[in-house]
Structure 1
Amino acid sequence: MNSAEPLPPAGYAEVRIVAASPETARVVAEVIRRCFASTEQRSYPAGPEGGTRLHLTVDTARATEPARTWLSASRSSAADRPDTDEV
């Protein structure tokens, strides 16, 4: 995330999906929406080679059971550090 971009409110997460096709990006977004309440997705071109980038905001406080189980099991200090290839 760009440092000039504001952080989402506590309990929310910004999700960005980049895929070669719009359909692939939509499938991934649909899976995320089955686990979390979310905003309407926003779609952008992914770059000069084509592809799609989708953005959505998810409410982690309104997670369904599979997501709650995963969130509880995945809490660690390592999860708070971004990967080196994140932008």
Structure 2
Amino acid sequence: MNPAEPLPRAGYADVRIIAASPDIARRVADVLRRCFDSTEQRSYPAGHDGGTRLQLTVDTAHPAGPARSWLAASQPQRADRPQGSEA
């Protein structure tokens, strides 16, 4: 990341996809859009071999479907929270 480049707002992540073809980059972006709200993608040439760089910003505060369940499962369990019948 360029040190002069600003960070995204809290709850958002900037995603850059670099692929050999625009079609592959779009397919990866489509998967991300099924999991998170996102901005409109922007694409640029990537290198001299015809590659594509695709950029979009995803809203991690509002995940959908697969990302919601994955994010919930990846949260660390708090040891001091009552478990089951202890509550």
The interval holding the TM-score normalised by the smaller chain is 0.7 to 0.9
Equivalent-residue separation in structure 1 for 2:4 and 2:29 (angstroms): 25
For residue 66 of structure 2, give the secondary structure of its aligned residue in structure 1.
helix
Q: 2:22, 2:51 within 8 Å by CA — same for their partners in 1?
A: yes
For residue 15 of structure 1, give the secondary structure of its aligned residue in structure 2.
strand
Equivalent-residue separation in structure 1 for 2:75 and 2:8 (angstroms): 19
Which structure 2 segments of 5+ residues have no match?
Answer: 77-87
Matched residue type, 2:15: V
Which structure 1 segments of 5+ residues have no match?
Answer: 77-87
Task: Determine the structure 2 residue equivalent to 1:54.
Answer: 54
**Runs of 4+ off more than 4 Å:** none
Matched residue type, 1:11: G
| TM-score (structure 1 length as normaliser) | 0.80
Count of paired positions: 76
What is the percent sequence identity of the aligned residues? 72
For residue 4 of structure 1, give the secondary structure of its aligned residue in structure 2.
coil
Q: Deviations over 1:19-77 (max 9, x none)?
A: 0000000000001000000000000001111110000000011111310222233458x
For residue 56 of structure 2, give the secondary structure of its aligned residue in structure 1.
strand
Matched residue type, 1:33: R
Tell me how large the CA RMSD over aligned residues is.
1.4
Equivalent-residue separation in structure 2 for 1:75 and 1:52 (angstroms): 34
Task: Determine the structure 1 residue equivalent to 2:80.
Answer: none
